[in-house]
Amino acid sequence: MDGLQLQLQELLSERNELLTRLHESQLQNAATAQRQAIESLLAESGLPDYAVTATFRRLLAAADPASRIELVQERVRLIADAHRRPPLSHERAPDRDSALSDAAFIALLKPHR
């Protein structure tokens, strides 16, 4: 019986090792699929490279698929809004008499609605 028990232990050990390798492979496949889904989503979004930072990628990786879509859509809206707004800077006045008053300056800084 000792020979059978030894063989059983060896087979159980081999099975456990194979299960561990299978689990690791499944995790790797899931991570690869997730990266591909994120890359596909980003490619479809048309976001410029500067809008897709490493931090944004980590945020997408941590989010569920529905949240990823929302995050990308929000980023697309933010970029589009930034391109539609004209710059709020003005050239400096050549002399003090034509400089903006404090109230006028504050009014320029408030968001337009």
Residue 17, domain member (yes or no):
yes
- The owner of tokens 């490279």 is 49
pLDDT tens per residue, the chain (113 residues)?
A: 689 999 999 999 999 999 999 999 999 999 999 999 999 999 999 999 999 999 999 999 999 999 999 999 999 999 998 888 776 666 665 555 445 577 777 777 777 65
Residue 103, domain member (yes or no):
no
Non-local (6+) Cβ contacts of 28 within 8 A are none
Residue 34, domain member (yes or no):
yes
Residues spanned by the domain of 70: 8-84
From CA 1, how far away is CA 81, in angstroms rounded?
77
Residue 62, domain member (yes or no):
yes
CB 45 within 8 A of CB 72: yes
From CA 63, how far away is CA 52, in angstroms rounded?
15
Residue 95, domain member (yes or no):
no
Helix, strand, or coil (residue 90) = coil
Residue 91, domain member (yes or no):
no
Residue 76, domain member (yes or no):
yes
What pTM was estimated for this model as a whole?
A: 0.62
Residue 98, domain member (yes or no):
no
pLDDT at 20: 97
Non-local (6+) Cβ contacts of 14 within 8 A are none
Number of domains in the chain: 1
